[in-house]
Amino acid sequence: MLTDSRLDPLHQRTAPVSESPSQFDIETIVAELRALRELSLESRRRERRPPQLPSRKVLVEIVDGLATALFPNRLGHGDLSLEGVDYFVGHTLDAHLRALLGQVRRELRFAAEQAGTVDADGDARALDIVRRFAARLPPVRALLESDLEAAYQGDPAARSVDEVLVCYPGIAAVTCHRLAHELHRLGVPLVARMIAEIAHSATGIDIHPGATIGGSFFIDHGTGVVIGETALIGQRVRLYQAVTLGAKRFPVDENGVLLKGNARHPIVEDDVVIYAGATILGRITLGRGSTIGGNVWLTRNVPPNSNITQAQARNEVFDGGAGI
């Protein structure tokens, strides 16, 4: 039933405000925010000019465009003809690789500013990085094909590989990771991390772009999965929701500064299944063919073909995803 908007309190709260901005003391707030920005820049020894960081909004469009180029018939226009697919893929790649080049340039310039140096050959380095990244797209497509097949074979609810591609958050997150990982390897960790966080925001799956993940990888359901920077994951590994592959501790140097880049996350060998809620911490190895039960907290190595469950549920059998 329609109501008179003049009597609707919600309308009264959200109606356009006619008051002048000066009634909110905007000038004072702007001045205080400017002073805080300048103090922040000074504390980080930067000029007053704000840094030109890569754009998250542009990267969202780039990732979407690259995914479309990888799977044009399923993620592109539905009316593509056989003759038109290659043209569409070429045009899409050219547009989005050019856009990526601009974002890589921004990161390299930002990194030089942070280091207090002048990157005289930054444009040439950016072009080289994007060219090498582009050359890696066919192998990335092949890896994603194996991930799609693993998801289809691993989930009895999946009716087709096409459904997996367009519906499963695990595939969306892994697609972003495969792209981000290549950029991370090529020396643009900020752009790579931003792509990872785009996937994290959209899916609830947090995969650091530094993590190395083999083919036929499947994250079922996915929400709450965390995979750390130095994790190594083999072939045909399957994870369920809320699994953490994390660090056990964070060592510091003699000055108390956190050490970065050390190997601190698990190694998961081929054909391992990790069920929902399991927390695996530290540079430990889960041996090939092992099964880690739900809600297990694990900080020690696991021999191949082990079956690890909670102490109070050691006799429970996890058979092909039972109970999921």
Comparing CA positions, the residue from 239, 80, 96, 249 lying closest to residue 179 is 96
Residues 70 and 162 grouped into a single domain: yes
Q: Decide if 234 is inside a domain.
A: yes
3-state secondary structure of 297: strand
Assign residue 261 a region: left if phi > 0, alpha if psi is -120 to 50, beta otherwise?
Answer: left
In a domain, 30, yes or no: no
Q: What pairing do the DSSP bridges indicate for beta strands 238-239 and 212-213?
A: unpaired
CA dihedral 93, 96, 99, 103 (to 10 degrees): -100
Say yes or no: 194 and 301 in one domain.
no
> Are 194 and 241 part of one and the same domain?
no
- Give one word for 142, left, alpha or beta, with left for phi > 0 and alpha for psi -120 to 50: alpha
Q: Is residue 4 part of a domain?
A: no
How high is the pLDDT of residue 295?
Answer: 95
Same domain (yes/no): 108, 128 = yes
The answer to whether position 48 is within a domain reads no
Distance CA 237, CA 274 (A): 8
Q: Residue 5 falls within a domain, yes or no?
A: no
For residues 200 and 58, state if they share a domain.
Answer: yes
Question: Both 262 and 245 in a single domain?
Answer: yes
Distance, in Å, from the CA atom of 232 to the CA atom of 224, rounded to the nearest integer, reads 19
Tell me, yes or no, whether 260 lies in a domain. Answer: yes
| CATH number of domain containing 64 | 1.10.3130.10
- Give the model's pLDDT for residue 8: 46
- Which 3-state string (H, E, C) describes 79-125? CCCCCCHHHHHHHHHHHHHHHHHHHHHHHHHHHHHHHCCCCCCHHHH
Place of tokens 């590994």: 237
Residues 133 and 227 in one domain: no
Same domain, 79 and 194: yes
pLDDT at 20: 53
Q: Domain ends where: 204, 226, 244? A: 204
Same domain? 178 vs 241: no
Q: How far is CA 110 from CA 49, 61, 115, 254, 259, in A?
A: 12, 21, 9, 29, 22
| CATH number, residue 291 | 2.160.10.10
So what's the pLDDT on residue 174?
98
Residue at 21 is within a domain: no
How are strands ordered across the β-sheet holding 238-239?
A: 218-219, 238-239, 273-274, 291-292, 307-308
> Looking at the 3D structure of the chain, how many domains does it have?
2
What pLDDT is stored for residue 69 in this prediction? 94
Domain boundary among 183, 204, 225: 204
Instruction: Determine the structural domain holding residue 147 and report its residue range.
Output: 53-204
Q: What is the pLDDT of residues 31-71, one digit of tens each?
A: 898 888 888 777 665 555 667 899 999 999 999 999 999 99
Q: How many residues does the chain have?
A: 324
Q: Please indicate, yes or no, whether residues 168 and 273 belong to a single structural domain of this protein.
A: no
Residue 11 lies in a domain: no
Amino acid 196: pLDDT: 98
Residues 216 and 322 in one domain: yes
DSSP secondary structure string for all residues of 2-19: ---GGG-HHHHHHSPP-S
Are 220 and 182 found together in one domain?
Answer: no
Domain boundary residue, one of 169, 204, 239:
204
User: In the chain, which residues have pLDDT < 50?
Assistant: 1-15, 17-18, 312-318, 321-324
